[in-house]
Amino acid sequence: MRAVIQRVLESHVKVDGEVVGSIGKGLNILLGVKKGDTYEDIQKLVKKIANLRIFEDERGKFQHSLLDIGGEVLIISQFTLYANVKKGRRPSFEEAEEPTRAKELYELFVEEFKKTGLKVETGIFGAMMEVYIKNWGPVTVIVDSEAL
């Protein structure tokens, strides 16, 4: 499981021109599910992201986590995080989990994140979405459950 997390001042997602998820200060999480990912991957990733100290203290040092600041989370499914561009000019998505299983794991990830007590918003799995991200910093980090 792979997440691109972006520290944001605000973020929202639209489907068919309508806002379906919106947050203030916190993290925008683009989440990709790989073939073979499990509930253990979800638990590791949620714990790491919620506790990752990427919010500054009064001295400008990364000392605070999402939990510390009571931030908000917008989680967007994004199978393209497992694009393979090694061969040819068109990406291959062979590593990405098939949609039914990916949706199941995505929804479990969202539910696990809600257990943190933070505000959690989402896009719509499989929909064509417009994602607005007002990146703060900018701070962008890639977290892969295989590396945890």
Q: Per-residue pLDDT tens for 31-57? A: 999 999 999 999 999 999 999 999 999
Q: Per-residue pLDDT tens for 97-121? A: 999 999 999 999 999 999 999 999 9
Whole-model pTM: value is 0.96
CA–CA dist 79, 94 (Å, integer): 10
CA angle 112, 119, 40 (to 5 degrees): 15
Domain 2-147: homologous superfamily in CATH: D-tyrosyl-tRNA(Tyr) deacylase (3.50.80.10)
CB-based burial label for 115 (10 Å; 0-12, 13-18, 19+): exposed
Tell me the percentage of the chain whose pLDDT exceeds 90.
Answer: 100
Which residues carry out catalysis? Answer: 78-80
